[in-house]
């Protein structure tokens, strides 16, 4: 009996020290950001990664994988091992719009990833050049109705959030604009400043500083409340377009098949980080609103957004080129 107890003791010691039982995480974690380095999303991701990593006791290293509206980066996450060491910052383009636009969707946003937490919300703005004759949305809509198809609207590319929200704006305002797609928000905004296009709908993260600098004029915010940093820009409801509500929604995802305990630990650390004053403040500086939320809340948000935007995309005939 004594010999059996000794054997059981040493077996327990060996199992307790085995790699399979090691506490997660035991090495650095990678956060894939499917956008270019240096942009607002990248800045917010790096702030979030530092805060979340501190809570997990391991560094979280940001890896930029831009392209295809976020599909390239999140596809890489979906293909990674489901061990908790690869995470992704998923945006609305890849998770909500792409399934209705892409002819060859590389993953299912509702089934092929593990949803960990909502992260940040970024309202959209309808903007024009500061020298534009349009001082209000009413001015712009009136001109567009007089000459359908003459005024141009820039977007960050076919199927981008700015393209889709622009289509919703045209539908609700009963106008027709000339869509001019660019390869990203930066060149679209640059040509708007230069006067090559008449207007654009852009995430507040991309244009708030340009409005403050007097280079662009904000005509409408696609949110329920005015944005604190731009208190003079009215909401869509205030200009008579209450259904033009759209915000970029970013969430934290991991590969499918993540062990339950690992998923819970990551989700809890993410939520805690998103509630920290440092993260809230840094997000606000970039035009983002921190959005801590449960995995179920994020999954439900994606499902409801897909149900909402699918018909808009189909009605507008938006497809990948």
Q: Report the alpha-carbon distance of residue 266 to residue 213 in Å, rounded.
A: 39
Q: Is residue 15 part of a domain?
A: no
Q: Which of 239, 261, 279 is the last residue of a domain?
A: 239
Same domain as 70, residue 214: no
Helix (H) or strand (E) holding 290: strand 289-290
For the four alpha carbons of 282, 288, 289 and 295, in that order, the dihedral sign comes to negative
pLDDT at 203 over 70: yes
pLDDT in tens, 9-65: 454 444 444 444 468 999 999 999 988 787 788 889 999 999 999 999 999 999 999
Nearest to 89 by CA among 291, 227, 262, 259: 291
Domains in the chain, number: 2
**Start-end of H helices in the chain:** 2-16, 40-56, 71-79, 92, 98-101, 137-146, 161-173, 185-194, 204-212, 260-274, 277-285, 295-316
DSSP 227: -
Is there a domain that residue 7 lies in?
Answer: no
CATH number of the domain to which 47 belongs: 3.40.190.150
pTM: 0.82
| Domain closes at, from 194, 217, 239 | 239
The answer to whether position 14 is within a domain reads: no
CB 207 within 8 A of CB 213: no
Identify the bridge partners of residue 114 per DSSP, sorted by sequence position.
254
Question: pLDDT for 214-256, tens place per residue?
Answer: 999 999 999 988 988 899 999 999 999 999 988 888 999 999 9
Distances (CA, A) of 204 to 20, 92, 107, 257: 45, 15, 28, 35
Looking at the structure, do residues 255 and 220 belong to the same domain, yes or no? Answer: no
- Among 192, 218, 239, where does a domain finish? 239
| Parallel, antiparallel or unpaired: strands 289-290 and 29-33 | unpaired
**CB 36 within 8 Å of CB 187:** no
Residues 87 and 225 both lie in one domain: no
In degrees, to the nearest 5, what angle opens at C-alpha 142 toward C-alphas 186 and 198? 20
Peptide bond into 94 cis (omega under 30): no
What residues make up the domain containing 296? 28-122+247-316
Q: Decide if 8 is inside a domain.
A: no
% of the chain at pLDDT higher than 70: 93
């Amino acid at each position: 009996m004594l010999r059996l107890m000794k054997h059981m003791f040493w077996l327990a010691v060996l199992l307790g020290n085995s790699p399979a039982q090691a506490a997660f995480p035991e090495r650095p974690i990678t956060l894939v950001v499917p956008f270019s380095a240096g942009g607002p999303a990248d800045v917010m991701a790096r702030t979030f990664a530092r805060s979340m990593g501190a809570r997990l006791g391991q560094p979280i290293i940001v890896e930029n994988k831009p392209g295809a509206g976020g599909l390239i980066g999140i596809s890489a996450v979906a293909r990674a091992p489901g061990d908790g060491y690869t995470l992704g910052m998923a945006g609305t383009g890849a998770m909500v719009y792409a399934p209705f636009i892409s002819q060859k969707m590389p993953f299912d946003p509702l089934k092929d990833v593990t949803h960990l937490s909502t992260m940040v919300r970024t309202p959209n703005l309808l903007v024009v050049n500061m020298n534009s004759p349009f001082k209000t949305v009413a001015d712009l809509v009136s001109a567009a109705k007089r000459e359908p198809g003459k005024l141009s609207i820039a977007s960050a590319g076919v199927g981008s959030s700015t393209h889709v929200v622009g289509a919703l704006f045209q539908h609700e305002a009963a106008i027709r604009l000339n869509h001019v797609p660019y390869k990203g928000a930066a060149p679209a905004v640059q040509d708007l400043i230069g006067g090559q296009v008449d207007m654009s709908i852009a995430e507040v993260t991309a244009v708030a500083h340009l409005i403050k600098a007097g280079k662009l004029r904000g005509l409408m915010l696609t949110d329920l409340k005015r944005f604190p940093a731009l208190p003079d820009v009215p909401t869509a409801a205030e200009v008579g377009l209450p259904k033009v509500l759209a915000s970029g929604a970013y969430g934290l995802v991991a590969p499918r098949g993540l062990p339950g305990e690992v998923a819970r630990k990551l989700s809890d650390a993410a939520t805690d980080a998103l509630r920290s004053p440092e993260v809230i403040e840094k997000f606000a500086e970039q035009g983002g609103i921190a959005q801590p939320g449960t995995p179920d809340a994020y999954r439900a948000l994606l499902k409801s957004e897909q149900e909402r935007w699918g018909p808009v995309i189909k009605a507008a005939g938006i497809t990948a080129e």
